[in-house]
Structure 1
């Protein structure tokens, strides 16, 4: 009932009108209702055609509603609606976008169920997705199937085959051979072909061959693209030819090929790894002056390089740029800054950045869990060493609240500090939690506690009581996970 009242249709509804309404509707659920409302007009002579089916399938795929899209495809067959290859192509690309290459193959194989014969475009699209998803065995099998079906070689298909072969150092020479054989099949290498081969050679450290191919490319009038330049710049950086990489960047500008963010980031990475992070910073300023917006990888590259050289002030300057641009530093970037503060014994500042990290919502996950443990324990230990046990204790409590593991050395330092201060309440609490966590106190920790108790009145009774309580906890802890040495 809702579908019929959704739209007040004119006396004669057209497929063009339905398409227009579905395209204009941003809400996918409402777009489906429009499609269904038009379906309700079948009794008045309207029929969906491949245009209306195509647009609703496209909208469903964009919303990752793949089953609904496939149901619409089946409905097209049931209603004897003429299909177009573009609908299948949109399905291949949608499944490829969400990294489901096997579903791409499945849809390709279903084309025969719809009495539809794929053209070269479908074969190349499926082949390309398989290669991009690193399903190389399936990709090579599919390529042989293409040839068996009489799909002739083309520059596009051979480019994909070369790309697949360049992914493995053992098949790089085979890729090069196909590249040389292309003209015999009536397929001339283009900029993409050269770029793929050059990139493959650079990754293998075959820089001289890559440079020769780059020169050959220009000699044949095949203009290098920004992708080709970036691949070679990256290769030169890997071989530590930073001056050559810098000259290539200048050559790009002379030839009016605009460097992109990746081009600059590759060169900056090479400079930073060679201890030339200040030169990389100059490159960042040049990049910004050209209105190229740095991404988080660009900034991370610089911060890692600056921290490696101990340039804290410059690293903090870049760190501030990240936040001003509205980007979110990750745990790795915070760790670089925090560890550098710890190295120069500025533990308060390190703790401040740790607090900022927590407040900004950088939380541990399965991948970063060990890094978060390392960051938090390093700062607590540093605060203890820096004689700020109170803040160390507050951070310790925060760690426990958030379920982050406390290391044996952290327990040891905290207990030692509070024993020296005569704060036996906190010392006892930490030891109790230490035992609960399965970390057995070592001789040094026991000695610190007993010495602290011995300085108090009724030392014997207090010691016996503390020892009794701790032994009870130890007995309860059947599988200790940590041992403090």
Structure 2
């Protein structure tokens, strides 16, 4: 402790003496001596130092930071140079390197590098490499080049490969590939041997501007000279080859070489990029080879995106069998359910699903898509492919289930998918389910074709489901479809025959509202021939009320069937309405009706009818209605 105190005391005494003769020329310089510190006040700006202060032992490692701080705070002038010189009369390599590395700006480092030679310091390989590296990284490339090409030979300092590598990398970062090529080619002229490290730097630099031809040329040159490419060489070369669809052959050769040397690319994306380029250039065999070659590399896993690009490329190239093999491999590995894997693109899975659904493999397609659904994919196109596939394979229940899923999730459906579903039910002779699917189709905003309406109505009618067919007919008419009147007539006739008169008349009313009048005469004739007197009466009454086109023969036929059925008063009622509308009937039949009325005690009605026929008591429409009511 005594010796430390004595040493510190001597140092402080010396500093006080120096400060008395010459105030400190450098601001805020802290001198740390064995745990003590003393701040020397700043010198007068106009006063030059007269005596340098030599740093004490233990201070050298902190002098570089002090000098860098001084350069950052003051402009580079003679006064600053003198201040540094007073602080450090003699420079060694360690201090120079420390100042160069710690300089706040590359300009400061360059100024110091140039000036320190004037103090008697001789730059060596390390300091030259340091300043070239600093300038190249900061893109002060002309300065770095001048130091390397011009200054070093003058000072008899040998140039080394590392220095050229730094300059090549700098020009690469600046995007000046032509200078990269010049520097690289001149290296042998300067007596510098190019190793794989130089080639690595060269590849990386020129391939930023991206220069694949130059890269391949140099790669071949390396091989010819027996220089083995390093991982960096491959890493620099491969992206340019992978992204160029015309270079896929060279890319495959390089990849095979890497596999043989057991070198795994650090950038795993090159596999996907290579497969994509090969698929774009229709080199599908090459893409498959790359896919298989991935197993030869350590720590390289086949991602979902690789399968997606392959499947899409194979489908576009009509190699569906191989695409199905890829799908089987994908499903077998369970990659789809891995949350860490990427999501396959719609352009890939929709092509695969479309092919499967069109070739009797809809179940496999649905298995594939349901896994995609678990990853949150709700794709309208895929759903509709599946529905079509199930419908074609006569599995309408599966198709309808998918339609229900779409409806719940608000996914729009295609009209033709519904059409196929309806037709599938019809093929299986399930007309009721076909009608349900047709209703769903309409609910989803699709308009079934006239032929589809007809197919469903015919199937229901032939299955004895007349009223269900009637409801389909109603939907068809409401949608403005006016074809298929032949089956419409059959449905109306069947409804009337079965006693569903009110329903039949409701459908006829809807037809009239849509300018689609049915054939009343044919319907009346059919009812009369079947002895359906009351049904025929209601139909004619309905037609008279609406001034429909009914022939005189139909009136006579109706009256005949009413007479035959002893429906005297209904016959009288309808006859009065016919006459009120100006209709003409058979006189002999009317006379027979009068006799029947008298015989039945209906003398009042007989008298009215007699007067009407003789023209003495003509009926207007309103009175005809009253008479019919009385009857």
- Cα distance in 2 for residues equivalent to 1:280 and 1:289: 14
- Cα distance in 1 for residues equivalent to 2:290 and 2:185: 39
| Deviation digits for residues 364-411 of structure 1 (CA, Å, limit 9, x no counterpart) | 5xxxxxx94433322232233333241231243133376634325144
Q: Which residue of structure 2 lines up, in the alignment, with residue 434 of structure 1?
A: 372
- Cα distance in 2 for residues equivalent to 1:418 and 1:281: 43
Q: Which residue of structure 1 lines up, in the alignment, with residue 93 of structure 2?
A: 155
- Cα distance in 2 for residues equivalent to 1:376 and 1:164: 51
- Cα distance in 1 for residues equivalent to 2:370 and 2:309: 22
| 1:181 has 2:118 as partner | no
Q: Is 2:383–2:402's contact at 8 Å kept on the other side of the alignment? A: no
- Cα distance in 1 for residues equivalent to 2:178 and 2:408: 67
- Cα distance in 2 for residues equivalent to 1:291 and 1:123: 45
Q: Is 2:259–2:297's contact at 8 Å kept on the other side of the alignment? A: no
| 1:213 has 2:150 as partner | no
Residues 458 and 315 of structure 1, relative CA distance in 2, 3 Å threshold: closer
4+ long deviations beyond 6 Å: 119-122, 149-152, 469-474
Trace 1:21-420 onto structure 2 (pairs within 5 A): 154-165=92-103, 171-183=105-117, 187-214=121-148, 215-239=150-174, 242=177, 244-274=179-209, 276-309=211-244, 310-330=246-266, 331-358=268-295, 360-363=297-300, 372-387=303-318, 388=320, 389-397=323-331, 398=333, 399-400=335-336, 404-409=341-346, 410-420=348-358
- Cα distance in 2 for residues equivalent to 1:292 and 1:122: 44
Q: Which has the higher contact order (CA 8 A, sep 6+)?
A: 1
- Cα distance in 2 for residues equivalent to 1:197 and 1:212: 12
Q: Is 2:251–2:274's contact at 8 Å kept on the other side of the alignment? A: yes
| Deviation digits for residues 269-323 of structure 1 (CA, Å, limit 9, x no counterpart) | 3444447433333322333444432111112222223334431222222222222
Residues 373 and 430 of structure 1, relative CA distance in 2, 3 Å threshold: closer
Structure 1 position 252, deviation (Å): 2.8
Over the aligned positions, Cα root-mean-square deviation in angstroms equals 4.0
| Deviation digits for residues 326-377 of structure 1 (CA, Å, limit 9, x no counterpart) | 322452332332122111123343233223214534335xxxxxx9443332
Please state whether the residue corresponding to 1:322 is helix, strand or coil: helix
Residues 401 and 359 of structure 1, relative CA distance in 2, 3 Å threshold: farther
Which of structures 1 and 2 has the bigger CA Rg? Answer: 2
- Cα distance in 2 for residues equivalent to 1:150 and 1:209: 27
Q: Which residue of structure 1 lines up, in the alignment, with residue 608 of structure 2?
A: none
Q: Is 2:203–2:215's contact at 8 Å kept on the other side of the alignment? A: yes
Residues 420 and 301 of structure 1, relative CA distance in 2, 3 Å threshold: same
Q: Which residue of structure 2 lines up, in the alignment, with residue 89 of structure 1?
A: none
Residues 345 and 246 of structure 1, relative CA distance in 2, 3 Å threshold: closer
TM-score between both structures, scaled by the size of structure 2: 0.45
Which ranges of structure 1 fall in alignment gaps of 5 or more residues?
Answer: 1-111, 113-118, 129-135, 141-148, 365-370, 475-485
| Deviation digits for residues 403-436 of structure 1 (CA, Å, limit 9, x no counterpart) | 6343251443332222122312112212321222
TM-score between both structures, scaled by the size of structure 1: 0.58
Which ranges of structure 2 fall in alignment gaps of 5 or more residues?
Answer: 1-34, 36-56, 73-86, 411-631
